[in-house]
Amino acid sequence: MRPPRPRGTEAGVDPRRAALRILDRTLRGGQTMESAAQGGPKLNPGDQALALAIAGETLRRLPLLDTLIDSATRQPLPDDSKARMVLRLALAQRIAMQVPDHALVATALPLVEGGPRRLVHGVIGTLLRGTLPTADEAPLPAAVEQRWTAAWGEEAVAVARRAIVRRPPLDLSFREAADAEAFAATEQGLRLADRQVRLSDQRGVTTLPGFEEGRWWVQDLSSTLPAGLVPAEAVTVLDACAAPGGKTLQLAAAGHQVTALDRSESRLARLRANLHRTGLSAKIVVEDVLGYTPDVPFDAVLLDAPCSATGTFRRHPEVLYRASERIIAESAELQGRMLDKAAAWVKPGGSLVYAVCSLEPAEGEERIAAFLAANPAFALAEQRRVVPGEREEEGGMDGFFTARLVRTG
Ligand SMILES: C[S@@+](CC[C@H](N)C(=O)[O-])C[C@H]1O[C@@H](n2cnc3c(N)ncnc32)[C@H](O)[C@@H]1O
């Protein structure tokens, strides 16, 4: 006879415990899900993927889950209490992952062993006996809905509510347009642009044809836009804040002489691996934008600045909880300083392309307006804003802002 498992180690509990840790570290510690998943007890790859999936599905619909939980408790549970966290995870599994009721209960209760077990059991029971909402949309955090309604209107928020509960498609950028055409035909992909193909089903990236040969790399359609603003005649291009290198690869594939700068060694290691895999080349500089001075100016500088990343909420729903007004303001201030530095590296007549994967005007339109007001030697040549709703019927796009400024003086 097998020895009984110690209490709290029932099958399926470990990934839920890991999901609880991820949820706590993202919501209370402000971490990304990826970094929150590091450093915990070792799980097998399947359990690790399950933990991330449960935490992700929970974060996609947190306000909805909280409304349900509050409807079943006499006193609202504290926002960061373990009971609320465990209830959120359990409900998300039921609504988004169709986990059977008995499995939900059996894997939730060990997480509150020695604590509010009866309360959690009672609330789950009440909610499972009622009618739970379907999974086709969920409200965003109230502060985000307010900001985005003011900035982009109610329809964009309605689209974002639908987008947040769906896994976004996988977009690939190709070195060669002919390869994109052939791949789209054989893999039932959607040709988004000359060199961009979208796959709507979830397939392992490294198993797709052409990965080993480096014919393509993963890159959301939105993030391909800034490199497209770099004029074809620009010979030397600085890609500032380059890692992991999607835009560096695009620029190199388009024939520019690229210098790729980033301050993160570990992220640059991924950029190097991407260059190696695709056979493309760029000069790599490990530097802080704020401390860098090039020997000679460039024909074009692309500044893909660090930002709140709220435009990536479909892939990283946790960004919506990190991006407080304070974080956005700090981010905008840093972007302003980076723009001032980058401007000095552009040749007269050259271009400065600015980009952020943010849906916050303070990091996009307002940043560029402030820069232009303080820098009369630059003029706006073109700008592009992507808000929820664009190409929705084809699977949507990440929120994004990019602008090209020309140095006229
Ligand atoms: C939005 S990501 C860049 C994505 C990249 N352009 C791409 O297309 O794959 C921002 C990058 O800025 C880098 N970064 C942040 N602050 C920096 C600074 N002060 N100097 C240099 N790099 C910085 C980060 O390490 C990160 O790799």
Residue 8 has pLDDT above 60, yes or no: no
Mean pLDDT, range 268-293, rounded to an integer: 97
Identify which of 32, 171, 238, 241 to mutate to test ligand 1's pocket (most ligand atoms within 8 A of the CB): 241
Our answer to whether residue 307 is catalytic in this structure is: no
The residue contributing the CA closest to ligand 1 atom 1 is: 306
Structure tokens at 52: 């991330």
Mean pLDDT, range 192-221, rounded to an integer: 93
Mean pLDDT, range 351-375, rounded to an integer: 98
Residue 16 has pLDDT above 50, yes or no: yes
Give the pLDDT score at 267.
96
Residue 10 has pLDDT above 70, yes or no: no
Out of 9-13, 87-91, 161-165, 266-270, pick the least confident: 9-13
Q: What is the pLDDT of residues 306-354, one digit of tens each?
A: 999 999 999 999 999 999 999 999 999 999 999 999 999 999 999 999 9
Q: Which one from 54, 342, 357, 359 is the annotated catalytic residue?
A: 357
Render 41-96 in DSSP notation, one character per residue: S---HHHHHHHHHHHHHHHHTHHHHHHHHHHT-SSPPPTT-HHHHHHHHHHHHHHH
Averaged pLDDT score across all residues of the chain = 95
- The pTM of this model reads 0.94
Give the pLDDT score at 1.
43
Peptide bond connecting 133 to the previous residue in cis, omega within 30 degrees of 0: no
The residue contributing the CA closest to ligand 1 atom 15 is: 306
Render 250-315 in DSSP notation, one character per residue: HHHHTT-EEEEEES-HHHHHHHHHHHHHHT---EEEE--GGG---SS-EEEEEEE-----GGGTTT
pLDDT band for 232, please (50, 70, 90 cuts).
very high
Q: What is the DSSP letter of 161?
A: H
Domain with CATH 3.40.50.150 in the chain: 225-407
Distance in Å, CA 101 to ligand 1 centroid: 44
In DSSP terms, 352 is beta-bridged to 301, 405
Give the pLDDT score at 135.
72
Q: Which residues are annotated as a binding site for S-adenosyl-L-methionine?
A: 241-247, 262, 288, 304
Greater model confidence, 9 or 140 = 140
Measured CA to CA, the distance from residue 47 to residue 97 in angstroms comes to 15
Residue 2 has pLDDT above 80, yes or no: no
* Helix, strand, or coil (residue 399): coil
Structure tokens at 107: 């894997």
Measured CA to CA, the distance from residue 335 to residue 64 in angstroms comes to 34
- 229 and 205 in contact (C-beta within 8 Å)? no
Cα-Cα-Cα-Cα torsion 128, 129, 130, 135, nearest 10 degrees, comes to: 30
Q: What is the pLDDT of residues 145-171, one digit of tens each?
A: 999 999 999 999 999 999 999 989 999
**Residue 110: other Cβ atoms inside 10 A:** 19
Mean pLDDT, range 370-388, rounded to an integer: 98
Query: H-helix or E-strand containing 319?
Result: helix 319-322
Give the pLDDT score at 252.
98
- 13-129 — its CATH code? 1.10.940.10
Give the pLDDT score at 409.
82
Residue 6 has pLDDT above 80, yes or no: no
225-407 CATH, one of 3.40.50.720, 3.40.50.460, 3.30.10.20, 3.40.50.150: 3.40.50.150
Mean pLDDT, range 371-395, rounded to an integer: 97
Q: Please state the ipTM of this predicted complex.
A: 0.99
Measured CA to CA, the distance from residue 31 to residue 262 in angstroms comes to 21
Greater model confidence, 79 or 3 = 79
Give the pLDDT score at 9.
52
pLDDT band for 3, please (50, 70, 90 cuts).
very low
Give the pLDDT score at 204.
85
> Which atom of ligand 1 approaches the CA of 241 most closely?
12
Query: With pLDDT > 90 as the criterion, what percentage of the chain qualifies?
Result: 92
Query: With pLDDT > 70 as the criterion, what percentage of the chain qualifies?
Result: 98
Distance in Å, CA 129 to ligand 1 centroid: 48
Sheet holding 236-240, edge to edge: 283-286, 257-262, 236-240, 298-304, 346-356, 400-407, 378-386
Computed on alpha carbons and rounded to an integer, the radius of gyration of the chain in Å comes to 23
pLDDT band for 133, please (50, 70, 90 cuts).
confident
Distance in Å, CA 65 to ligand 1 centroid: 34
Give the pLDDT score at 134.
80
Domain with CATH 1.10.940.10 in the chain: 13-129
